Structure 1
Amino acid sequence: MTEDDLFNWVAAVAPRWLSPERSYRNYVRSWDVAGKVKAAKLRGTFEATIAHKKTPWHGRFALDQIV
């Protein structure tokens, strides 16, 4: 398992926590992302999980609604 695996998992499952750096590290530690990645790789579902990346909640709004 690599740091890229952890990052890709968070990007797919909880993209909100990708920044700032402290939030990302706390999320990875608090939610045992390493354990989840390991279990997904053993089940053979890791690639399918990271293939379905979610849009961050703030990215769902139309620009004209934000401005």
Structure 2
Amino acid sequence: MHHPRHPMARSLSTHQKNSAGTPNKRPNFPVEFKRRLVEQTFEPGASVSLIARRNDVNINWG
């Protein structure tokens, strides 16, 4: 079953600044978005890779 892109996906490019004032490369995911990603892992046949792709998350941000 394919899910449409998450409405928060566009906010994933939001970056925080580190102590030097330069942007970090890791996105700041909203807590509710992360909660929904975790909930998807409990679905039968769930795959972290598929969940990441379905939600436009780059799994290499790790």
Report the structure, 1 or 2, having the larger helix content. Answer: 1
Report the structure, 1 or 2, having the larger strand content. Answer: 2
Normalising by structure 2, report the TM-score.
Answer: 0.36
Normalising by structure 1, report the TM-score.
Answer: 0.34
Structure with bigger RCO (C-alpha 8 Å, 6+ apart)? 1
